[in-house]
């Protein structure tokens, strides 16, 4: 019977693609009898005690060796020992595979000691694999007991009432009987008084409908992000699943929030968080939104690499191409506008230079020109009349 082989992969950094590490075989009975898959991806590192603490009733341990001949385990084991870390990877929602730094003897460069279990929920202090406990609503306040009203008649039942004659007697008798019936009628519990500050019987600010503290918008975003991260990680380790459908209902997510907090939580932000978490787990995944008839609901589908339909890829490429074309058009408009502004500045500078040259020519004409005529020539220019200064000198 051939030995069971396990192809071990490693995620070198969060969001990166898994890389091949080694192909392992083992002679251990636990290795061959346990339902190990043909491929396990080590998705992270931890120093928590749940990964290295001995627990034979939960864990199964086996010593394996590499048979691929690539000798990649030496550096991997050295990395774990130097940083005192354990590498782990889930291969089903209830199973986990761990390589610890403590149990590696280093006698062989191709040896690797690992542990695995199908009872992940029994491991204490493990951060995943357990269902999150829903917050229990606060116990309702006990209503005060309704006092039992004992019907008492004004007269003893043994003694018959005296009959009164006349209209006044009949009226008084009827009024008395009405009061007795009203007194003996079953009373209902009075409604609880409305808390001061709550309009229309609503719970006051900071108090949820169940009596506990109301959630805030940041808490809603944090819980939704954690839920999406867990779904993406579970989807990553599910080898047979190629697409993940996520339904988003804004009414359910914002239940228990006050009106002000509801305005801060919108469907577009939630859809972006789904796409963001998908890209953090694997950059090659494709997240697409299905058409919806309602504004407060959305259905997101995440496809693994190579499993997205052609129409989805074409639509995404068309949207990206449209955005690229818009960016190129904006860039061309900006370049054309800058070129026009440059030409206008050149024309303005040329006009200013021309005006300045004309001013210098006029100034030179007025200052450097000299009147070389004699006084007599000037006088003849005035028609032979002498200048007023000469007349005054003769006088």
In a domain, 64, yes or no: yes
pLDDT 10s digit of each residue in the chain, 395 long?
577 888 999 888 777 788 889 999 888 888 888 888 889 999 888 888 888 888 888 888 888 888 888 888 888 888 888 888 899 988 888 889 999 887 776 556 788 888 999 888 888 888 876 544 444 454 555 555 544 444 444 444 444 444 445 655 666 676 677 666 555 555 444 444 433 344 344 444 444 545 456 678 888 998 998 899 888 888 887 778 888 999 999 989 988 888 888 888 888 999 999 998 888 888 888 888 888 888 889 999 999 888 888 888 887 777 665 666 667 777 878 888 888 888 899 998 888 888 877 665 555 555 555 666 777 777 777 665 555 555 544 44
What domain range is 273 assigned to? Answer: 217-308
Last residue of a domain, one of 308, 325, 349: 308
- Of 31, 183, 180, nearest in space to 116 by CA: 31
Domain co-membership, 117 together with 222: no
CATH number, domain with residue 230: 3.30.1370
> How many structural domains are present in the chain?
2
**What is the residue-wise DSSP string for 94-123?**
TEEEEE-STT---S-TTEEEEEEES-GGGS
- Phi and psi torsions of 98, nearest 5°: -130, 140
What is the CA angle 93-95-101, rounded to 5? 130
Upper half-sphere CA count for residue 52 (Cβ side, 13 Å): 16
In a domain, 113, yes or no: yes
Segment (H or E) for 79: helix 73-83
Last residue of a domain, one of 259, 276, 308: 308
The predicted structure's pLDDT at residue 248? 92
What are the CA-CA distances from residue 253 to residues 245, 265, 273, 290, 305 (Å)?
17, 9, 14, 19, 29
In b/e form, how buried is each residue of 188-226, taking b as 16+ CB within 10 angstroms? eeeeeeeeeeeeeeebeeebbeeeeebbbbeebbeebee
Token reading at 342: 């440059």
Last residue of a domain, one of 282, 308, 334: 308
Upper half-sphere CA count for residue 343 (Cβ side, 13 Å): 6
The predicted structure's pLDDT at residue 159? 43
In a domain, 171, yes or no: no
In a domain, 364, yes or no: no
In a domain, 190, yes or no: no
Give the list of residues 6+ apart from residue 289 with CB closer than 8 angstroms, or none.
271, 298, 299, 300, 301
In a domain, 17, yes or no: yes
In a domain, 294, yes or no: yes
In 3-state terms the chain splits into helix, strand, coil percentages (rounded to 5) of 40, 15, 45
Q: Order of strands, edge to edge, in the sheet holding 297-303? A: 243-249, 297-303, 286-289
The predicted structure's pLDDT at residue 107? 55
What is the CA angle 24-235-92, rounded to 5? 45
The predicted structure's pLDDT at residue 280? 85
Model confidence pTM above 0.85: no
In a domain, 377, yes or no: no
- Of 191, 159, 155, nearest in space to 176 by CA: 155
The predicted structure's pLDDT at residue 302? 92
The predicted structure's pLDDT at residue 125? 80
């Amino acid at each position: 019977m051939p030995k069971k082989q396990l192809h071990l992969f490693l995620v070198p950094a969060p969001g990166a693609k898994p890389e091949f590490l080694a192909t392992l075989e083992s002679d251990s009975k636990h290795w061959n009898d346990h339902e190990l898959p043909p491929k396990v991806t080590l998705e992270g590192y931890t120093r928590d005690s749940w990964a290295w603490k001995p627990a034979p009733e939960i864990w199964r341990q086996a010593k394996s060796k590499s048979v691929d001949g690539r000798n990649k385990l030496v550096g991997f084991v050295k990395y774990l020992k130097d940083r005192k870390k354990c590498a782990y990877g889930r291969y089903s929602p209830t199973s986990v595979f761990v390589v610890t730094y403590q149990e590696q003897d280093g006698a062989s460069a191709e040896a690797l000691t690992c542990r695995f279990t199908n009872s992940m929920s029994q491991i204490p202090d493990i951060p995943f694999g357990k269902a999150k406990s829903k917050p229990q609503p606060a116990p309702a306040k006990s209503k005060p007991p309704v006092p039992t009203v004992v019907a008492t008649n004004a007269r003893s039942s043994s003694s018959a009432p005296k009959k009164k004659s006349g209209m006044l007697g009949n009226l008084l008798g009827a009024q008395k009987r009405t009061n007795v019936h009203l007194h003996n009628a079953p009373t209902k519990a009075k409604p609880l008084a409305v808390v001061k500050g709550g309009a229309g019987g609503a719970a006051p600010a900071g108090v949820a409908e169940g009596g506990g503290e109301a959630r805030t918008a940041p808490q809603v975003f944090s819980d939704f992000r954690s839920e999406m991260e867990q779904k993406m990680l579970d989807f990553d380790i599910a080898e047979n699943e190629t697409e993940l459908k996520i339904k988003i209902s804004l009414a359910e997510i914002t239940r228990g929030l006050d009106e002000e907090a509801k305005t801060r939580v919108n469907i577009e932000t939630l859809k972006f968080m789904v796409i963001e978490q998908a890209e953090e787990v694997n950059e090659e995944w494709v997240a697409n939104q299905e058409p919806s008839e309602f504004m407060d609901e959305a259905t997101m589908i995440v496809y693994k690499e190579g499993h997205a339909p052609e129409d989805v890829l074409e639509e995404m490429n068309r949207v990206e191409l449209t955005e690229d074309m818009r960016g190129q058009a904006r860039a061309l408009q900006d370049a054309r506008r800058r070129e026009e502004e440059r030409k206008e500045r050149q024309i303005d500078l040329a006009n200013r230079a021309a005006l300045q040259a004309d001013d210098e020519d006029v100034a030179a004409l007025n200052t450097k020109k000299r009147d070389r005529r004699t006084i007599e020539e000037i006088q003849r220019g005035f028609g032979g009349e002498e200048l007023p200064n000469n007349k005054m000198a003769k006088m």
